[in-house]
Structure 1
Amino acid sequence: MKGAIVSASLTDVRQPIAHWHSLTVEECHQQLDAHRNGLTAEVAADRLALYGPNELVEQAGRSPLQILWDQFANIMLLMLLAVAVVSGALDLRDGQFPKDAIAILVIVVLNAVLGYLQESRAEKALAALKGMAAPLVRVRRDNRDQEIPVAGLVPGDLILLEAGDQVPADARLVESANLQVKESALTGEAEAVQKLADQQLPTDVVIGDRTNCLFQGTEVLQGRGQALVYATGMNTELGRIATLLQSVESEKTPLQQRLDKLGNVLVSGALILVAIVVGLGVLNGQSWEDLLSVGLSMAVAIVPEGLPAVITVALAIGTQRMVQRESLIRRLPAVETLGSVTTICSDKTGTLTQNKMVVQQIHTLDHDFTVTGEGYVPAGHFLIGGEIIVPNDYRDLMLLLAAGAVCNDAALVASGEHWSIVGDPTEGSLLTVAAKAGIDPEGLQRVLPRQDEIPFTSERKRMSVVVADLGETTLTIREGQPYVLFVKGSAELILERCQHCFGNAQLESLTAATRQQILAAGEAMASAGMRVLGFAYRPSAIADVDEDAETDLTWLGLMGQIDAPRPEVREAVQRCRQAGIRTLMITGDHPLTAQAIARDLGITEVGHPVLTGQQLSAMNGAELDAAVRSVEVYARVAPEHKLRIVESLQRQGEFVAMTGDGVNDAPALKQANIGVAMGITGTDVSKEASDMVLLDDNFATIVAAVEEGRIVYGNIRKFIKYILGSNIGELLTIASAPLLGLGAVPLTPLQILWMNLVTDGIPALALAVEPGDPTIMQRRPHNPQESIFARGLGTYMLRVGVVFSAFTIVLMVIAYQYTQVPLPGLDPKRWQTMVFTTLCLAQMGHAIAVRSDLLTIQTPMRTNPWLWLSVIVTALLQLALVYVSPLQKFFGTHSLSQLDLAICLGFSLLLFVYLEAEKWVRQRRY
């Protein structure tokens, strides 16, 4: 081939044809300038240089240093850094050890490291995608077969595949022999796909139905084939998913956004208050140095230094609770984010359903049977018209079940009480339903040993076996012949080959009316989302079988099977409805099957539309936005469809949780506010792109996790109320000192840090384990965009802060005047320690009161013993600061007399009494 021709053809590939499946094999050869002898080494080298290696390309992200640097962009940390610098400079000027500055810097560094650890988790989804590529591939070049590294594959290469191989690139089949490929990683559907080279498909066929194409990352289960590579690297479907994955930008969680806004409000408010206090102080003639000390103390007081650590612990506690409920949180902020979910987009197979085919309907000419039971457990009932029957009393049923058990390549396996199947799930369900009727499939296959078979193919759409009838079972009709031919498969095709039927316990001629009745029954099952199989038989004089033998058959009946819904999902969907959470099904399955399952689970109702991927592709953004408001079920969707659905929901203010298990789900999982991967069936790619992994692949577990998320967010609001209400009280108390002419700051920065980290922090940690409200899932989700101050939290903090400071300021004035009278062994400056102690002890009462909106006596102590323990421990630590000499020196405190301590205790109780009185008035009013 000439270089000019190669360049021209590669230009076509670089601007890829979107519909290779719609071209014939000859047209594909022409477009790719390729032939059946493969490319020459020279042409392959030219194409590799022009087109690049067959690899996924990773975009550069933030470096670890950039992530660490970004932590210091927090406005509260910047203000603390400024305070540390000024405080350290003043101490050094006065020849003092800068302990306040060092303590502040330690807090700043710890908070930055904490933020870095939460954000620095490496993005491994693309690495997992790369891991799906096989290292070597068989390819025909220079008219000979050879193995080359996958990275060296180029468009136009002819690849050779057989069972066990991974598909190394996107390719158009040119030859196939009983080729079946597992595409679940790409499409999400578990069933193997039969691939055929000689098909020419319509241009609008979705990926899951492109049966003449192979896709990178999928696996060949059986058969062999040859295929012409048309896309490599980032131009493959897998590469397109990688592009989508890398185009999704991670956004801050609602909690992170609220805390950012909180920091802005606190710092702005503190600076305004500092300006007011300093201005008034200047007017009163106070020194700049005293006013600077007041300003520094106020800046430290307003910043809740312990809040990041407390929130991290609260999220970690939520994570542990969720593990106990079968969900693994991969990113801590996702714990709280779950509580904001308004819409859950769920895959069908394995999440809403059991991922186990179950026979539910059986039709013979004489009877319609309903079958109960779950999964592959051979236990259940057969019913006619709602009445339980004994299967052995119905010969037509037993013959049909025997046909399904014998014309079968699967095996039913018991491991303790757990039952599973080896082989095709469709065939496994036939063994299970036979066992429910008392038939031993293995025993039946021994007394009816297989002699010959014609396997199922997508062209034939049926499977046939010939068995030797040893005369040891009544589950056949010998008619004097030593062998029996059983056939199963497409009901329509098998029915065409039948001349007789088994009805009224005898053989009858198959009339046109009977044929119509059978077809109508099959259509009814199919419209209910079931996979329908037909069964027939014929006594045979010979042990061999060919297609000519599959004639003059006797019709036995139909079996309708479905991947049955998980029994607990219906209740979970109902709980979502009660909690104001909308549930959507997004699946690659057939629309009828998806709609039937969704109706059964209560996700959608009769008459509601199903949107297919083909319809979705034809919609623009506005049309899709209008559709997602009313559509609950999406079928036959591709990866970009899932991503578009999530983005559309988010544009309308929805907070979306998205479930998935395949590679195709990864972009949508990353785009969603909460990505939920399957722990059992999920690929590494989907898990790495997710925020949470379901250990049991169960939709009900998502609902349990949402409940835990709401509990965590509720507890976070409680300790924010507690911490910031107390901080505002501290701030106002410090601000009042120069205005009252006391001549000194009541609290040093180090003492304020002690209160914010220990006195606030320890009880706040205990509030993080508060049990949830039993009615928490009967309320609508709160707006994810709401402020941290919403629903009364802001007014509560201001109100409590003002009341708290009022009590403390009164105490401060009394203590200042009272301590000016000299007493032996007592320092006149102990009034500052009395203010410090009163603030700390009052916060203990605040912690007890804030845990519930009810009166404290109505809230059982046993529900959170950690809170009471934290109050006792914190109070003892505060007393140690007052009376233990080394701690006195370090924190600048003074010993208090018994009367001093009694006064402090009395004033500290006033806040608790006020909060309880407020609750009592509120209850009386409402």
Structure 2
Amino acid sequence: MSKKVMTNDQLCQLPTDQFYQQLASRSSGLTSQEAQQRLAQYGANTIHQAQHRSQFKTFIKNFTSLMALLLWVSGLIAMFTGMVELGIAIWAVNLINGCFSYWQEHAAQKATDSLKKMLPTYTHVRRDGTSQQIDATKLVPGDVFTIQAGNSISADARIVAATALQIDESALTGESVAVDKKPAYAHGDGKFAEQNVVYAGTVAVNGTATAVAMRTGMQTEFGQIASLTQQQKTTASPLTAELNRLTRQISLITILIGLVFFVAAIFFVHYPVAKSFVFALGMIVAFIPEGLLPTVTLSLAQGVTRMSKKHALVKELSSVETLGETTVICSDKTGTLTQNQMTINHVWLPDREYTVSGQGYVNNDHVLLEGQPVQLADHPALALVARVAALDNDTKLQAETSDHPKILGTPTEAAHLVLAQKSGLDLDQLAQRYPRLQELPFDSDRKRMTTIHSRPETQGAVIYVKGALDGILPICDHLLVGNQARPITAADRDRINAANQHYAAQGLRSMAIAYRPFDGSNGLPADTADCTVANTEQHLTFVGLTVMADPPRPEIYDAVDKCHRANIRIIMVTGDSPLTAKSIAMKIGIDSDNVRVITGDELAKMSDSELQTAVKGEVIFARVAPEQKYRIVKANQHNGEIVASTGDGVNDAPALKQADIGIAMGVTGTDVAKDAADMILTDDNFASIVAAIEEGRTVYSNLQKFLLYILNSNVPETVPSVLFLFSRGLIPLPLTVMQILTVDLGTDMLPALGLGAEKSEPGIMDQPPRARTAHLLNKSIIWKAFGWYGMIAAILSTCAYFFVNWLAGWPTVPLAANGNTYVMATTMTLAAIVFCQIAAAINCRAKLTSIFKIGLFSNHRVWFGIGFEIILISLLMYVPILQELFNTTGIAGRDWAFLFSIPIPLVLIEEIRKAGVRKRLK
């Protein structure tokens, strides 16, 4: 090849001989030796996948978060202070949590990993002057190869010969309408619009062609997009950042508390410095919520499981919560907001208009005909439209399912087949009754396709023509009205053009239908085999227009309404035309008539600051290129938005990678898009995104609920040590460090997980997304945890401690520092905290809603956790080896009665408080 590097656009404009010269190729193809040399020079024709982090690094990541590091250090401190069992327990919790996190994310990754084989396995090339079939990975620049309908394209290539070639470029552009390709150069609207260039990763849906490879592998447009995606750095999710912040807060608080206890132990209790230091370290370990990290992990895992049941596969646990923060959804149109199925919804005839609806038709007076197809015998012109739609057609439908048949051909022609079926026609019988005699294939210059069929009614033949109105109306000299043809007038032409413009203004596409009897008159040849474009496509009779669109998904309207109520903006980003994009956006309620439509060309001229201003208002982006969607996501993020970006094509991958939450389509999505995304919709349903956002909000709400639940026990855990210090040691420690760990890692864990499974509270999607400055640990939680729930629990547990000592003769007898009375007192203190936590688990289930409204027993997991708490504390009291380890003993029946009486008033008091808050807010 020449050393001078030219772009695809430059190469495809060269005269054919210069083009071959530039690529050092020829029409007969390369030799095997040349191909081998180029394969060594350019490498295999493959798309290199981004190198995923090694399994070892992925595994280690789960043990190196700030919270995990804090637990490693606290375990080490526990061992250093002589509490070896405590240190081992903390490390064990960290190990179990890390392994579980790795297993969850590894399972999700396995579910999304698939063979990335968007390029075909084989390609037919000309080598050594003969046609050969080779592995597509061995295709090189300069290779001459052939294309047939159904073939995937192996490289960016220039077409040198073609017959009725149409290419589905949706993997690159996101648009389902096939584009026409032919050897002559012409640059259309938008990127990938060169008329004589085909791109790797696209599919031929019609015709044949010969092409010459210009770029292969990572040098193709497909490869460049994949490379752009792989260059994006993965940033920490908002939840990860928030947990790191929370860890820093807790670390600072615990260190300050440890410092206070260290000083107090020296000056109040007169401990030696060494003993005071050990005591302070023990309190630091006790105050760290060891159960927080595993509880967060397991709660997110539960969210992942619930989302999978709602058709959303989450690849990373932290993505669950990120969804709940979403403020903007940058959504592709085709296949995401719409069904990606071209559908004829109007048939316009000179004397009547039909609106196609379901299995039947609705006329322009909106009179539903019993949901059944009209009787075509009563509507001859409509019958002719349906017949032409079925016969002047090269596409086939394979009924894999009744709702989504597989299309072998173009979506536009598939829509015409469906129209014929809705009209009650049997396609196979129709083809047998009117066998095709001749075809004049579609051509983008003529903008029409013609077929000639036997016509048994007249013992002759008939010519059927369909195509663009500007390609058919000029060659029509008659008009069909009812069942009579008459000469067409200038007024008729104006009316037809006006109807076509009316539909175009609504973002709809139209196709003209015409026919001509094959009767040997007006220059027609005697034999159909002699028909040509020149002698056949003239003197036509105009029948009508078929009008089509890619319809919105039925469930999209409710999903959009939910987004609006939740103050989540939807920005449509599409490769389709501005008219179509605006029409769909207004139809489904995303935007109003005042929406600003920005095209890709306009966007290219905008500075980053101008774009950041534009995305703050109602805006649609049409005819955009892949890197432009990426810019749109970044502009929103610069404005402080949490951005979810949806997509299915290769063109969406960079934006999916950049977004805070990338959402790929699982059914129609390309593997590159799925690889770049954080979440995959297994049903390609936009409504599933809204359900996932609701789940994300619920997960965050539940995180706050069990954060409140876990932290409130720190107050009754800390107060005993405060009493010990400020009494100058006269009050023995009412709670040991191992007993504190029992609460943090034992009794609290399962109820906290139950809170993580709590259903959404009413109205959660009627609230705006939380501010990015909002934090998990806010003032409300701090007040409830420490000033309300925690203080009540501290008072009750302290009362339990003194109650046992009172029964032993206190205050006339000094408080016991050891012996049976001391063990009994610490046991009752621990048990009282546990039963206060039972009340807290019930109270934390709802922020403001009454527990009786959501159902006292509706969350079985919370009650299972409560049962576990009671069993665990019982085992600690009565199993000898546990008694020795945790400094506990058995208690009497009256003590159990006291314990079981604790939760009831605490629940009722909280209900009164919530009722007061609801009344104040109302």
The CA deviation at 1:844 is: 0.8
1:777 equivalenced with 2:765 (yes/no): yes
Change (3 A) 1:40 1:399: closer
Which region of structure 1 is more displaced relative to structure 2, 781-790 or 658-667?
781-790
User: Structure 1: which amino acid aligns with 2:742?
Assistant: W
1:633 is aligned, of 593, 597, 620, to 620
Give the aligned partner of residue 475 of structure 1: none
Matched position secondary structure for 1:764:
helix
Following the alignment from structure 1 to structure 2, what is the Cα–Cα distance between the partners of residues 74 and 650? Answer: 25
User: Which of 601, 611, 614 lines up with 2:588 in the alignment?
Assistant: 601
Given the alignment, which residue of 832, 842, 846 partners 1:848? Answer: 842
Paired position in structure 2 for 1:698: 685
How far, CA to CA, are the matches of 2:577 and 2:901 in structure 1? 72
| Residue 358 of structure 1 pairs with residue 332 of structure 2 | no
Q: How many Å separate the matches in 1 of 2:284 and 2:689? A: 42
Q: Which amino acid aligns with 1:554?
A: T
Cα distance per residue 1:701-750 (max 9 Å; x no partner) = 21122122222221121111111122344234434433331475443443
Q: Supply the distance in 2 between the matched residues of 1:126 and 1:54 (Cα, whole angstroms).
A: 24
Greater mean deviation of Cα atoms: 860-869 or 555-564: 860-869
Map of 2:665 onto structure 1: 678
- Conserved in 1, the CA contact under 8 Å of 2:232 and 2:658? yes
Q: Does the C-alpha gap of structure 1 residues 229 and 418 become closer, same or farther in structure 2, counting only changes over 3 Å?
A: closer
Q: Contact (CA 8 Å) 1:603, 1:632: kept in 2 or not?
A: no
Partner Cα distance (2:902, 2:493) in 1: 92
**What are the residue-to-residue correspondences of 1:471-490 with 2, within 5 Å?**
471=457, 482-490=460-468
- Structure 1 residues 478-498: Cα deviation after superposition (integer angstroms, max 9, x where no partner): 5xx722211111112111111
Q: 1:436 offset after TM fit, Å?
A: 3.5
Q: How many residues end up aligned between the 2 structures?
A: 897
**In 1, Cα distance between the equivalents of 2:43 and 2:422?**
57
Cα distance in structure 1, aligned partners of 2:496 and 2:68: 75
Deviation sequence 1:156-197 (CA, Å, 0-9, x none): 444444445443322222333333333222222233333212
Q: Which runs of 5+ in 1 are unaligned?
A: 1-5, 92-96, 374-378, 472-477
Q: Which residue of 1 aligns with 2:510?
A: 532
SS in 1 for 2:777: coil
Instruction: Choose from 500, 503, 521 the match for 1:522.
Output: 500
Residue of structure 1 in register with 2:748 after alignment:
760
Q: Cα deviations across residues 842-870 of structure 1 (Å, max 9, x unaligned)?
A: 11111111112244445422422332332
Match of 2:877 in 1: 882
Partner of 1:488, secondary structure, is strand
- State the partner residue of 1:805: 794
Q: 1:833 aligns with which of 827, 830, 833?
A: 827
Q: What is the 5 A alignment of 1:318-333?
A: 318-333=303-318
**Cα distance 1:146–1:485, how it changes in 2: closer, same or farther (>3 A)?**
closer
Over 3 Å counting, the alpha-carbon distance change for 1:57 and 1:563 in structure 2 is closer
SS at match of 1:524: helix
Q: Is the 8 A contact 2:319 2:661 kept in 1?
A: yes
Corresponding residue SS for 1:564:
coil
**Contact (CA 8 Å) 2:307, 2:692: kept in 1 or not?**
yes
TM-score (norm: length of structure 2): 0.89
Report deviation, 1:37.
4.8
Contact 1:766 1:870 in 2 (8 A): yes
Instruction: Look up the match of 2:524.
Output: none
Q: Which moved more, 1:805-814 or 1:360-369?
A: 805-814
CA distance change for structure 1 residues 150 and 814 in 2, over 3 Å: closer, same or farther? same
1:865 aligns with 2:893: no
| Superposed CA offset, 1:292-327 (max 9, x none) | 443233223322222232223322332333233333
Residue in 2 that maps onto 1:266: 250
Equivalent residues in 2 for 1:402-801, closer than 5 Å? 402-410=387-395, 418=403, 420=405, 422-423=407-408, 424-471=410-457, 482-503=460-481, 505-541=483-519, 542-544=527-529, 545-547=531-533, 548-740=535-727, 741-742=729-730, 744-790=732-778, 792-800=780-788, 801=790
**In terms of mean alpha carbon deviation, does 522-531 or 807-816 score higher?**
807-816
Corresponding residue for 1:891?
886
Judge which range, 388-397 or 891-900, deviates more. Answer: 388-397
**Partner Cα separation in structure 2 for residue 348 and residue 891 of structure 1:** 62
Distance 2:148 2:726 in 1: 87
Tell me, yes or no, if the aligned pair for 1:826 and 1:896 is still in contact at 8 Å. Answer: no
Structure 1 range deviating more: 344-353 or 760-769: 344-353
Aligned match of 1:334: 319
Q: Deviations over 1:432-470 (max 9, x none)?
A: 334444444444433333322223233332222222222
| Conserved 8 A contact 1:171-1:215 | yes
Q: Which residue of 1 aligns with 2:523?
A: none
Shift of the alpha carbon at 1:566? Answer: 1.7
Structure 1 pair 125–313 and aligned structure 2 pair: CA distance change class (3 A): closer
Q: Would you say the 8 A contact 1:462–1:489 is kept in 2? A: yes
Q: 1 CA distance for matches of 2:73 and 2:344?
A: 71
Deviates most, 913-922 or 399-408: 913-922
Q: Is the 8 A contact 2:440 2:532 kept in 1?
A: yes
**Number of the residue aligned with 2:522:** none
Residue 380 in 1 paired to residue 360 in 2? yes
Q: Counterpart of 1:219?
A: 203
Contact 1:532/1:558 (CA < 8 Å) preserved in 2? yes
Q: Aligned-pair distance for 1:67?
A: 4.0
Distance in structure 1 (CA, Å) of the matches to 2:427 and 2:58: 61
In the TM superposition, residue 279 of structure 1 has moved relative to its aligned partner by 0.5
Following superposition, the deviation at residue 36 of structure 1 comes to 3.5
SS in 2 for 1:459: coil
What letter is aligned with 1:706? I
Going from structure 1 to structure 2, the CA distance change for 1:468 and 1:226 (only over 3 Å counts) comes to closer
- Given the superposition, is the C-alpha separation of residues 416 and 677 from structure 1 closer, same or farther in structure 2, using an over 3 Å criterion? closer
Q: Give the direction of change, closer, same or farther, for the CA distance of 1:46–1:539 in structure 2 (3 Å limit).
A: closer
User: Amino acid of the residue matched to residue 865 of structure 1?
Assistant: H
- Aligned residue type for 1:244: L
SS at 1:605 equivalent: coil
**1:10 aligned partner:** 3
* Alpha-carbon contact 2:754-2:861 (below 8 Å) kept: yes
Tell me by how many angstroms 1:264 deviates.
0.7
| 1:402 positional shift | 2.8
Contact residue 480 and residue 486 of structure 2 kept, 8 A:
yes
Q: Report if aligned partners of 1:347, 1:587 keep a CA contact under 8 Å in 2.
A: yes
Distance change in 2, residues 1:414/1:239 (3 Å) = closer
Task: Tell me whether 661-670 or 788-797 shows the greater mean CA deviation.
Answer: 788-797
Q: Quick one: structure 1 residues 885 and 420, their matched pair in 2 at CA, closer, same or farther if it must change by over 3 Å?
A: same
Does structure 2 conserve the Cα–Cα contact (< 8 Å) formed by 1:180 and 1:195?
Answer: yes
Q: 2:714 & 2:497 partners in 1: Cα distance? A: 76
Structure 1 position 254 matched with structure 2 position 247: no
Measured in 2, the distance between the counterparts of 1:250 and 1:569 equals 31
C-alpha distance 507-40 of structure 1, shift in aligned 2 (>3 A):
closer
Seen in structure 2, the aligned counterparts of structure 1 residues 495 and 627 have a Cα distance that, compared at 3 Å, is same
Secondary structure of the residue aligned to 1:179 is strand
Q: 1:912 to 1:327 in 2, by over 3 A?
A: same
What SS does the aligned partner of 1:354 have?
A: coil
Match of 1:87 among 78, 95, 100: 78
Match of 2:914 among 912, 916, 919: 919
Cα pair 1:578 1:778 within 8 Å, conserved:
yes
Query: Distance in 2 between the 1:825 and 1:124 partners?
Result: 57
Q: Say which SS state the counterpart of residue 451 (structure 1) adopts.
A: strand
Match of 1:298 among 237, 258, 283: 283
Q: 1-side partners of 2:436 and 2:26: how far apart?
A: 44
Distance in 1 (alpha carbons) for counterparts of 2:131 and 2:384? 51
- Kindly provide the CA deviation profile for residues 801-857 of structure 1, in whole angstroms up to 9, marking residues without a partner as x: 344334434544554565575999944333222222221121111111111224444
| Contact 2:823-2:887 within 8 A present in 1 as well | no
